[in-house]
Chains A and B, each alone.
Chain A
Amino acid sequence: MPDLLTSLRKTQVWKSIFRHGPPNTTRNRTLVVLTNFFLHLHPVKVRKSGIRLSYTWCMGGLTFFLFLVETITGLLLMFYYRPTAEFAFQDIMALREHVALGLMREMHRWGAHAMVITVWLHMYRVFLTGSYKPPREFNWNVGVILLVLTLLLSFTGYLLPWDQLAIWAVTVGTNMARATPFLGHEGPGAALLQLGGVNLVHAGDDVRFALLSGRFVGEATLLRFYVLHCVGFPLVAATLMAVHFWRVRKDGGISGPL
């Protein structure tokens, strides 16, 4: 086996991909990180205290990993799912009943729940170690937005199975929007916004209507949530994650005593 690997390393194909020898010398261990697109997210060397599991709990890394799991399983689910009132439930039913050993929906759902938990715990750890303190104030803020995005991703996904659990959870969740001050038709101040005795804010144009694309959770809501869930929020989240990781590096790497 080792001989095979050694001779493989000598081929032109291998050398065209990895431009360094086996990572057992200082020089090559540096090159592994520097010459690899995916690994260069990391610095070449890290604080020994900063990579202990008892320090980081690995919750930030797991959150990112679960985001990748969600992307892959979600992509596979998109092949079989149509976001319409006619087909949505049927397609989920078919995934459940007709796919032998099908695990993708299960992994997608439990992965989503797990991601909500890991992102909370990541924030908890960052607080307990005071890692939001200067110079990392801004990155904590990016993290808070990512936390909100995680919840929004999970919430929009909750509607897609189009079963009783889905539409009522989303109904309860979005009912709050009608009470938004001035912008929701049952919010304080909305009744004051009148023009010639006609209410400007009503059930047909308030912030909840914009959210649901209707007066109640219907087919238009399903499409809207689907697009946000599969395209809108993931794009924003991926962009902010790039900023988040970049800033971790720029702000001095994983936090540690100064």
Chain B
Amino acid sequence: MVDAIKNFVNALSNPTVYFFLTIVGLWAYLQFRKQLTHPISAWLFLLGSVAFFIFSMFDPTFRSVVTKPDNVPIVIMLGLVLYLTWLGLRRAVLNDELMKRGEANLEAKESKDRVFTWPDLVYTELICMVLCTAALVVWSIVLRAPLEEPAAPARTPNPSKAPWYFLGLQEMLVYYDPWIAGVVLPSLIIVGLMAIPYLDRNPKGNGYYTFEERPFAIAFFMFGFLILWVSLVVLGTFLRGPNWSFFGPFQPWDIHFLEPLVNVNLSEYFWVRGLGAPLPANAILRELPGIALIVAYFALVPPLLLSTSKLFRSYFLELGAARYATFIMLLLVEMSLPIKMVLRWTINLKYVVAFPEYFFNI
């Protein structure tokens, strides 16, 4: 029975299923937010997670990964992220109901009231500081900071992992070459974050929790933060073992386990498997199908979205051409990550465009 549950969970946390489940989970949470943010659902979810956590802690593999000192913060983060996502969405649901009835939302009810900084704010801050300090001291007493063997540049540990907060980026390295996963995408994340206030022209939802007044903005940010960042950090930390192979939460990390690499370039698919011809000697000709695909992705999808989607048409009218172009380019780059992931899992696609001699692989 126990083994059956563990095997089932191992199977569920295979990257393909894991990624798919997190997306479905987020979609369901937003779609059925009224029912799912109800305190009863939240308590049931909390009980379920705690029960699963206790059950899992009896498993030696799970315990050794989760209690590794530098992994403990991720467990804390995961708990906080889930709790605060619930809290934020719960208040959004309550506010949306209030506003639908024409009443002031929870924040608006109190925003006209001014209270004195001393004592109301200063004491809140003091209590937060004391609690934070207490938590930090207890954490420091219970758990020693990790210290491994002295640095030995000749001995590479397996797996070699970046600090945990960069593991989402390291996970991207599976799907993209370092110049995209390690340089272009992180830069675009920063640029994209900074562009948010200039691309979101919706004046509503400023200073209070709401979902219905800005559904796309909230859903899109949650997709980026919860799925493409937090859940990839969790995946990279807990589910990636030696050789960056994938291991289920209850599957022992076997150092000799190596997944065979059978990834195929698009050029191979097009010329060899599709046309039954040998790969052209000319590199440009060889990669032409991939280049055409990428150009089409960036050139054809925006007008296609404009002509088919009412939502995007309203964005275009609201933002104007320049802002809309920036928005859609950032959106397409971001969505290229899940697209590449799915292509890797379904048809083992390695590179869409590959010029290995110039380190230019996409």
Contacts and interface: CB of A to CB of B under 8 A. Distances in A.
Contacts of B163: 154-155, 158, 169, 173
Contacts of A237: none
Interface string B154-191: 01110011111110011000000111011110000010
Contacts of A230: none
Given A105-B145, A169-B161, A179 B118 contact: no
Contacts of A187: 179, 183, 359
Contacts of B204: 130
Interface string A180-194: 110010111111100
B206 A131 contact: yes
B178 A33 contact: no
B45 interface: no
Interface stretch (A2-10, A11-19, A55-63, A240-248): A55-63
Most buried by B among A132, A188, A189, A191: A188
Given A110-B136, A144-B193, A133 B203 contact: yes
Contact of A217 (B92, B153, B190): B153
Nearest to B169: A176
B206 A258 contact: yes
Interface of B: 70, 73, 76-77, 80-81, 84, 87-88, 91-92, 104-111, 113-122, 124-125, 128-129, 132-133, 136-137, 139-141, 143-153, 155-157, 160-166, 169-170, 177-179, 181-184, 190, 193-194, 196-198, 200, 202-210, 214, 217-218, 221, 225, 355, 357-360
11 contacts: A33-B117, A33-B118, A48-B120, A49-B107, A130-B210, A133-B203, A148-B190, A164-B151, A179-B178, A190-B359, A257-B207
Given A96-B144, A117-B80, A121-B81, 9 more contacts: A46-B114, A48-B111, A51-B124, A103-B141, A107-B137, A107-B140, A127-B196, A176-B182, A179-B177
